[in-house]
Amino acid sequence: MKDRFQWSGYEWITQERWGQIHPNKSFCWYDPSAVEMIYCADGKEQLVLKTHKNSQYFPHLGVKSEIGVGLVSNTTKFKHGYFEIKAKLPAGKHLWPAFWMWSFDSWPPEIDVFEGYTRNRKGYFRFDITNPLGFWHVNTNVHLGITPNNYSIGAKSHWMGFKNPSKHFLKYGCEWTPNKVSIYYNEKKVRVITDKKILDELNDKHMNVIINNAVDDGVDINNPTYSEFIVDYFKYEG
C-alpha cells in the first residue's frame, strides 16, 4: 500500500503523524503492507487493516518490532460535525481495533468513538454483572488534561444489540458540536457528554481521525493472530 492514498473522499496516510512506531509499544509498528483496499463488485472500495507477523528494525530505538499492524490517519483538520464508519471488527486473541480522534495541537484531548478488546478470547463477548447489556467489549472514552497529568472520563461498554461485531458490519458514529458529544453504535445513541469543562478542552481544537487495527500487551509476539478489520466507508458531515 502507498504511504499516502485517497479513500472515501479524503486523503490518508498509513502511519501516525509522528511516525511508524510508538516507543512504549514497540512490539508492533504501523505497517503500510497491513493496509489494503478491496474493490467490491458495486465499485465501492473497502479498507482492510490487518495484524500480521512482519519484523522491522528501528535503529533510532534500537528495537526489532515483530508485528505489523494497519493504521490510517486522515490528513484533514476536522472541526465540529458527524463522523461515521461502517465496519466489521477483527477476530482473534489480543486485538485492539479502534476508531478515534485526537487533536492536531496536542495530546490529549482524544475522543474514542470505540476501542474494541478481545483480550485472551477470540471475540468481544464479555459478561459484566454490573453492566449486563454492555456485553460486547467495545468501549467509548475521552482523554483530557495536560501530559503527564492527563486523565480519561472512563471507558464504558454499551448495548449494541445481539449481532456479533466481528461477524457483521455495524455503524459507529460520533456527533461533535459546541454543546455536546454524542456517540452512536448502530444508529443508537449510547453516550452523551455535555460537561462544560470537557467541551471547553475539545472545542478550540482541530481533530485528526484515525482508524486502526492493533494488538495489546498480552499478544504472543512470536505467533500473533492474523486478523482483518474491514471498513466499508468513512463519512463526515460538517
Structure confidence at residue 132 as a pLDDT band (50, 70, 90): very high
Residue 194 burial class via C-beta count within 10 angstroms: exposed 0-12, middle 13-18, buried 19 and up: exposed
Q: What integer pLDDT is reported at residue 147 of this predicted model?
A: 87
- For residues 135 and 145, give the distance between their C-alpha atoms in angstroms, rounded to a whole number: 30
Per residue in 72-85, pLDDT (tens digit) is 999 999 999 999 99
Q: Which domain holds residue 115?
A: 4-237
Predicted confidence band of residue 43 (pLDDT cuts 50, 70, 90): confident
203 by DSSP, 3-state: which? helix
d(CA 176, CA 23): 31
CA 108/CA 105 separation, integer angstroms: 9
d(CA 9, CA 236): 10
More confident residue, 119 or 41: 119
Tens of pLDDT, residues 194-209 = 999 999 999 999 999 9
On the question of pLDDT at 54 being above 90, the answer is yes
Q: Please measure the distance between the N-terminal and C-terminal CA atoms of the chain and give it in whole angstroms.
A: 29
CB–CB of 154/161 below 8 Å?
no
Task: Give tens-digit pLDDT for 149-173.
Answer: 999 999 999 999 999 999 999 999 9
Please give the pLDDT value at position 1.
77
Is 80 exceeded by the pLDDT of residue 179? yes
Q: What is the pLDDT of residues 4-26, one digit of tens each?
A: 999 999 999 999 999 999 999 99
Give the pTM.
0.97
Q: Tell me what the mean pLDDT of segment 186-194 comes to.
A: 97
pLDDT above 80: residue 50: yes
Beta strand 63-69 pairing with 28-30: parallel
Residue 90 CA, chain-centre distance (Å), reads 12
Q: Is 216 helix (H, G, I), strand (E, B) or coil?
A: coil
Phi, psi of 144 (to 5 degrees): -140, 180
Rg of the chain over all Cα atoms, to the nearest angstrom = 17
Residue type at 98 in one-letter notation: A
Residue-level pLDDT at 221 = 94
Three-class secondary structure of residue 61 per DSSP: coil
What gap in Å lies between CA 208 and CA 105, rounded to an integer?
10
CATH number at residue 118: 2.60.120.200
Q: For residue 185, what is its C-alpha cell?
A: 453504535
Pair type for strands 227-237 and 149-152: unpaired
The mean predicted confidence, pLDDT, of the chain is: 96
Q: Which of 106, 114, 112 is nearest to 18 (CA)?
A: 106
114, 101 in Cβ contact below 8 A? no
Domain count, the chain: 1
